[in-house]
């Protein structure tokens, strides 16, 4: 049995809420008061609001990743996933990125494991679709579109070319609409560099199960967003679901059928496997950690000692909402502030003081709709167009953690204003040995290779002559 000299605080997940919890804790903890351990399989926190701009090349993929090691100097980091939380034993089981599973004891736990992309068991979706929650997904979406342009440019007009340039986004929430609009904006801009292709070759479909996209904005601005997308050639299918996507053949519930090379799935959040079924902490019906307004786990009447939760995985009562029984919306605005409040409250309880309740009044919603155009809404105040887009950029460059990231993102935006965006697909990074193995012959990289993650055979000279 290991001896604990100082109290051990374990933070499960180093995303938004976990990163801010640990960052604040290490700033405020007195020497010897407690040790902080963050466990996450990824070595970085993902600044997800930048992912739509990673798609379009306005933000460099690396700049959306905030290194945990560079920024958490007094925190111990463990590269692995927590597979079980046994709070009764104050023990987590960790599956490290290398090596065998092991257990780790703790005194206090903060569960900030976020959410995963919600999927449905629809034919073809698991094989064809790609999510948009992680940097690698955003990079792959971008590379697939750019590779599709290269491939389509050498094909005659026809179904094959059409399929390559057909894109489907499923889910019209904020992330889906921003990603869709950024990719559409990139595709329209690419046409200038591809004289072989025309706007008629492009088909961008957005599929939304409810009657409205962007549920956070009101009807007027929403109609305006729809008109912006449709003016750029988008087909928005409302009240429609995806029925199947076998072999890339999309069937929608409104009867529409077409072949689509790229299918992006942005249809909401689901609980992580850990929270769903591998913890003895109380979990709500929707698979979130039952959390009090002061971010302690449990109910107002029955707090669970030494357990805290925040972010997308926590059902936190929304004290700013007029609707009784509402929970805070799973977004970055809440995750950041809950992380900071969690750290302060945890310290307060360590020092014998009372924790405070989390209350946050929304700052409104701001979205990019492609280069130079955006939408902002705060209650009845609506800003549309270029100014809203500048607000989006201004807000996020201020909000992204660390000066390092702010300056790097700004410098890419400034360079792009002078020289335009990069338009080269780097899908070939998935096959780094091709050039070496084929004696400097240019490999033929097709979308099939990109889909298979680089496992397809290298095309030899004979393949290329046909
Ligand atoms: C494309 C996109 C755009 C968005 N844009 C906005 C926006 O403009 N404004 C806004 O307010 N919100 C936005 N959001 C939502 C926002 O990013 C999330 O609400 C926020 O990231 C939630 O923070 P979190 O800490 O709960 O989860 P995350 O940031 O997802 O972090 C969870 C972390 O836990 C780790 N983890 C998961 N399981 C385990 C485990 N078992 N063990 C250890 N670690 C684990 C993960 O690796 C991850 O690092 C956007 C989301 C997306 C996908």
The tokens 């790609």 sit on which residue? 130
Q: Whose CA is nearest to atom 27 of ligand 1?
A: 114
Nearest ligand 1 atom to alpha carbon 81: 42
Q: What integer pLDDT is reported at residue 358 of this predicted model?
A: 98
Contacts of 12 (CB under 8 A, 6+ apart): 18, 39, 82, 85, 92, 109, 110, 111, 112, 113, 274
From 60, 62, 51, 65, select the one nearest 183 (Cα to Cα): 51
* pLDDT of 465 over the 70 cut: no
Q: What integer pLDDT is reported at residue 433 of this predicted model?
A: 85
Ligand 1 geometric centre to CA of 156 (Å): 42
Question: In 68-165, where do the E strands start and end?
Answer: 75-86, 91-96, 102-105, 108-111, 115-117, 129-130
Two tokens, residue 184: 């559409």
Answer whether 272 contacts ligand 1 (Cβ < 6 A): yes
Q: How far apart are CA 89 and CA 85, in angstroms?
A: 9
Ligand 1 geometric centre to CA of 48 (Å): 7
Ligand 1 geometric centre to CA of 200 (Å): 36
Q: What integer pLDDT is reported at residue 459 of this predicted model?
A: 36
Phi, psi of 122 (to 5 degrees): -105, 140
235 strand-pairing partners = 205
Q: How far apart are CA 11 and CA 19, in angstroms?
A: 9
From 132, 125, 158, 369, select the one nearest 245 (Cα to Cα): 125
Q: pLDDT band at residue 216, thresholds of 50, 70 and 90? A: confident
Average pLDDT (304-323) is 96
Answer whether 282 contacts ligand 1 (Cβ < 6 A): no
* pLDDT of 85 over the 50 cut: yes
Are 170 and 260 contacting, i.e. CB atoms less than 8 angstroms apart?
A: no
Q: What integer pLDDT is reported at residue 452 of this predicted model?
A: 53
Q: What is the pTM of this model?
A: 0.92
Answer whether 113 contacts ligand 1 (Cβ < 6 A): yes
Q: Taking the mean position of all CA atoms in its chain, how far away is CA 98?
A: 25
Q: pLDDT band at residue 456, thresholds of 50, 70 and 90? A: very low
Q: What integer pLDDT is reported at residue 432 of this predicted model?
A: 85
Ligand 1 geometric centre to CA of 462 (Å): 47
Q: Give the model confidence (pLDDT) of 362-390 as tens digits.
A: 999 999 999 999 999 999 999 999 999 99
Query: How far is residue 159 from each of residues 92, 120, 202, 281, 460, measured CA to CA in Å?
Result: 53, 28, 12, 53, 26
Two tokens, residue 50: 């930048």
Q: How far apart are CA 255 and CA 116, in angstroms?
A: 29
Q: What integer pLDDT is reported at residue 421 of this predicted model?
A: 87
Q: Give the model confidence (pLDDT) of 164-175 as tens digits.
A: 999 999 999 999
Nearest ligand 1 atom to alpha carbon 179: 1
Q: What integer pLDDT is reported at residue 335 of this predicted model?
A: 97
Question: In 253-338, where do the E strands start and end?
Answer: 257-259, 262-265, 269-271, 289-290, 296-298, 303-309, 314-315
Average pLDDT (60-86) is 97
Q: Helix 135-153 vs helix 174-190: angle between axes, to the nearest 10 degrees? A: 30
SS3 160: helix
* pLDDT of 106 over the 80 cut: yes
Q: What integer pLDDT is reported at residue 448 of this predicted model?
A: 60
Phi, psi of 172 (to 5 degrees): -105, 35
Two tokens, residue 208: 């939304």
Average pLDDT (34-53) is 97
Q: pLDDT band at residue 441, thresholds of 50, 70 and 90? A: low
Q: pLDDT band at residue 249, thresholds of 50, 70 and 90? A: very high
459 vs 334, more confident: 334
Average pLDDT (214-236) is 95
Q: What integer pLDDT is reported at residue 445 of this predicted model?
A: 55
Are 19 and 110 contacting, i.e. CB atoms less than 8 angstroms apart?
A: no
Burial bucket for residue 357 (CB in 10 Å: 0-12, 13-18, 19+): middle
CA angle 9/13/15 to nearest 5° reads 120
Q: Taking the mean position of all CA atoms in its chain, how far away is CA 85?
A: 25
Nearest ligand 1 atom to alpha carbon 51: 1
Average pLDDT of every residue of the chain: 92
Q: Whose CA is nearest to atom 19 of ligand 1?
A: 331
Ligand 1 geometric centre to CA of 329 (Å): 12
Answer whether 375 contacts ligand 1 (Cβ < 6 A): no
Q: Whose CA is nearest to atom 53 of ligand 1?
A: 133
Average pLDDT (181-189) is 97
- Give the number of other Cβ atoms within 10 Å of residue 460's Cβ: 12
């Amino acid at each position: 049995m290991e001896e604990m000299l100082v109290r051990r605080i374990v933070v499960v997940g180093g995303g938004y809420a976990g990163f801010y919890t640990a960052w604040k804790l290490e700033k405020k903890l007195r020497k010897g008061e407690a040790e902080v351990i963050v466990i996450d399989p990824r070595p970085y926190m993902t600044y997800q609001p930048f992912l739509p701009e990673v798609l379009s090349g306005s933000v460099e993929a690396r700049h959306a990743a905030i290194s945990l090691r560079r920024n958490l100097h007094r925190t111990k980091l463990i590269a692995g996933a927590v597979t079980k939380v046994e709070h009764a034993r104050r023990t987590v089981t960790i599956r490290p990125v290398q090596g065998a599973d092991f257990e780790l004891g703790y005194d206090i736990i903060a569960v900030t494991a976020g959410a995963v992309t919600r999927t449905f068991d629809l034919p073809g979706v698991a094989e064809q679709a790609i999510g948009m929650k992680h940097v690698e997904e955003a990079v792959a979406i971008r590379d697939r579109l750019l590779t599709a342009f290269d491939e389509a440019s050498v094909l005659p007009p026809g179904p094959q070319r059409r399929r390559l340039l057909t894109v489907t986004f499923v889910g019209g929430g904020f992330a889906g609409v921003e990603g869709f609009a950024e990719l559409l904006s990139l595709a329209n801009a690419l046409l200038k560099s591809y004289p072989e292709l025309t706007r008629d070759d492009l088909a961008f479909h957005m599929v939304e199960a409810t009657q409205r996209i962007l549920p956070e904005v009101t009807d007027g601005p929403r109609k305006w967003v729809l008109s912006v997308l449709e003016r750029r050639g988008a087909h928005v299918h409302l009240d429609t679901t995806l029925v199947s996507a076998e072999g890339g053949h999309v069937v929608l519930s409104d009867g529409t059928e077409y072949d689509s090379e790229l299918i992006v799935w942005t249809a909401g959040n689901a609980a992580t496997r850990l929270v769903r079924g591998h913890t003895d902490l109380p979990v709500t019906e929707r698979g979130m950690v039952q959390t009090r307004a002061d971010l302690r786990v449990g109910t107002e009447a029955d707090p669970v000692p030494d357990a805290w939760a925040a972010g997308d995985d926590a059902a936190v009562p929304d004290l700013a909402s007029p609707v009784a029984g509402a929970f805070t919306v799973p977004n970055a605005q809440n995750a950041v502030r809950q992380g900071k409040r969690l750290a302060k409250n945890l310290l307060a309880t360590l020092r014998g003081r009372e924790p405070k309740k989390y209350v946050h009044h929304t700052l409104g919603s701001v979205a990019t709709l492609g280069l130079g155009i955006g939408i902002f809404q705060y209650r009845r105040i609506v800003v549309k167009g270029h100014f809203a887009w500048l607000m989006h950029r201004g807000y996020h460059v201020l909000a992204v953690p660390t000066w390092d990231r702010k300056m790097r993102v700004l410098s890419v935006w400034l360079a792009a204003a002078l020289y335009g965006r990069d338009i080269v697909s780097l899908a070939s990074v998935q096959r780094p040995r091709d050039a070496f193995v084929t004696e400097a012959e240019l490999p033929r990289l097709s979308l099939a290779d990109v889909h298979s993650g680089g496992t397809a055979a290298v095309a030899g000279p004979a393949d290329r002559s046909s």
